[in-house]
Amino acid sequence: MSSPSSRSASAKIAHMIKLLGFALTVPLWAQTSFEGTWQGTLETGPAKLRLAVHIARGPQGAYASTLDSLDQGALGIPIGATTVTGKSVHLEITRLRAIYDGTLSADGNTIDGRFTQGAALPLVLKRVDQIQTPARPQSPRPPFPYTALDVTCQNRDVSLAGTLTIPKGDGPFPAAILITGSGTHDRDETIFGHKPFWVIADYLSRRGIAVLRLDDRGAGKSTGNKSRSSFDDLAGDVVAAAGFLASRKEIDAEKIGVIGHSEGASVGPIAASRSDRISFVVMLAGIGVTGEAVLEKQGEMVLRAQGLGDSAIDMQHKTQRALFAIIREERDEQAASDKMFAALKKIAPMMPDDAIRAQVRAANSPEVRGIIGYDAGPVLRKLKMPVLALNGSRDVQVPASQNLPAIAAALKQAGNPDFATKELPGLNHLFQSCRTCTVAEYGELEETFSPDALKIMAEWIAAHTR
C-alpha cells in the first residue's frame, strides 16, 4: 500500500483559520490542489468497492498517480494520465479501461465525480491522512508455528507463484491446494479487504496440514491470463501443483487434496478426476447442476436480496437467456460479441453502448463461457475419493438448496463410498455469518471465514489423512 500522504496546505490553512476565528478567504491556489490521498466507495449494483487515489507531482510539475482497489487487494494500479484544469481533474486508468472525471470542492477536501468503466457511476472522493481500512480480526498475526515459503510451480508455459505453509515437526505432512473462485485473485483470494485463503491456510497449518495457495494466472507474481483460460487450463494448473507438492520431501505424496471455493469447487473436481495424486476433495460453495442454471438462480436471488421485485427479475432472466443462448450456439468469439450487443440493444435500448460492451466483454470471456457450459454432474460421477461439500444456507450466489442435493445424488451415482454434504446455517457465499446476507454486505462484515466452517473442514481432512 502506498504510504499515507500528509494533509494539503489548503486543509491546514482552513483548519487554522477556523481555530483562530478569522474570516479570511482561502487563496485560489489552495482551492485547486489535487495532490494527496483520496478515498471513496464505488457502488456497483450489488457490491461496494472502496477505492483510493494517490495524486502526486514530480519536480518538473508532472503528475504521477495510482489507484488502489482496496477490497480487491489491487494496489498501485498506474493511472496513465492525470489532467488538472482549474478545479477539474481527469484520470485515465488504462489497465482497467476506466476514466474518472471530478470537480474539487471549495474547501479542497472533496472531489465530486463519476467513474466510468462501461457504465458511469457516481464516485465521491474525500481527502484522507491515511487509508481507512475495516477491522479484519481473523487476519493471521505472527508468530506463526509453521514455515511459510515463497514457491513457484510450472504448468507448461505458465508460471504459478504462491505460498506453501508447512507445519513444524516431523513430516511428511498431508497437504491441500487452495483453488480460488471466478475472477482473477491473488493467493489469499483477497476480496472486500478479506483474505479468506490466508485464514484457511493459517488454521490448517496450525493443525498439521500443509497448504499451497497460488496467485491466479495474471495475478500477483503468476504469469498467464485467467480470464482467457478454460476450466481445462485451470484444472491443469491444479494437477501441476499436485505434482509439485508430491516432489517435496516435507509432503506425504499419498495425502494431497484440493479445497476449491465457488468456481474453484468446479475446477478441483475436474483436476481430481484426472490425477491419481489427488486423494481428497473439499468443495466450498460448489455447484451440483449446470453453471447456466446456477447463474440464472443467482441472478434472481441477488436481486431479491436487494429488495427488487418480479419485473426486475423477469428482465434479468430475459437478458441472461438471450446471452446464454448465443454463447451455446456461437463458438466464434467476435461473432458472439456482435450478436450479444445486438440482443442487449434490443432488450435494453436505453442502456449506453459502453455499458453494453462492458457487459458483453464480461459474459463472452473464456472463463465465463466455461462456467455457463459446465455441468457438474458428469464430473462428480467420476470421483471415487473422499469428498466434503459445504454450502452456506444464506448463499445468494450458489444456493445450497439447489446444489447440495445434486452433489450428493451425483456422488451416490458414482458409487462413492465416502462423501459428506452439509448446509451451514446463517453463512453466505464467503462463509461469513451474515445479517442481510447481500453481496454488498461482504465487505461490511468483520468475520472473514466462519470458525465453525474452519473446524468442520479441518477435522474432516484430519480424519481422512491419518
In this predicted model, what pLDDT tens digit does every residue of 68-95 receive, in sequence order?
988 877 788 999 899 988 899 999 998 8
Q: State the cell numbers at 232.
A: 481445462
The per-residue pLDDT for range 351-400, each reduced to its tens digit, is 888 888 888 888 888 888 888 889 999 999 999 999 999 999 999 999 99
Whether the pLDDT of residue 439 is over 50: the answer is: yes
pLDDT at 10: 38
The per-residue pLDDT for range 126-162, each reduced to its tens digit, is 999 888 888 899 999 999 999 999 999 999 999 999 9
- Residues 33, 8: contact at Cβ < 8 Å? yes
Query: For cell 485467467, what's the residue?
Result: 226
- Residues 241, 214: contact at Cβ < 8 Å? yes
Q: Distance between terminal CA atoms of the chain? A: 41
Burial of 76 (0-12, 13-18, 19+ CB in 10 A): exposed
Contacts of 24 (CB under 8 A, 6+ apart): 17
Percent of the chain whose pLDDT exceeds 70: 93
Q: State the cell numbers at 349.
A: 435500448
Whether the pLDDT of residue 451 is over 50: the answer is: yes
pLDDT at 128: 92
The per-residue pLDDT for range 261-280, each reduced to its tens digit, is 999 999 999 999 999 999 99
Cα–Cα distance measured from residue 326 to residue 340, given in angstroms and rounded to the nearest whole number: 7
- Residues 466, 157: contact at Cβ < 8 Å? no
> 146-290+374-464 falls under which CATH superfamily?
Alpha/Beta hydrolase fold, catalytic domain (3.40.50.1820)
**Domain covering 9-128 in this structure, CATH number:** 2.40.128.120
Break the chain into its structural domains and give their ranges: 9-128, 146-290+374-464, 292-370
At 125, is the pLDDT very low, low, confident or very high (cuts 50, 70, 90)? Answer: very high
The per-residue pLDDT for range 391-413, each reduced to its tens digit, is 999 999 999 999 999 999 999 99
Q: Which residue has the higher pLDDT, 424 or 72?
A: 424
At 5, is the pLDDT very low, low, confident or very high (cuts 50, 70, 90)? Answer: very low
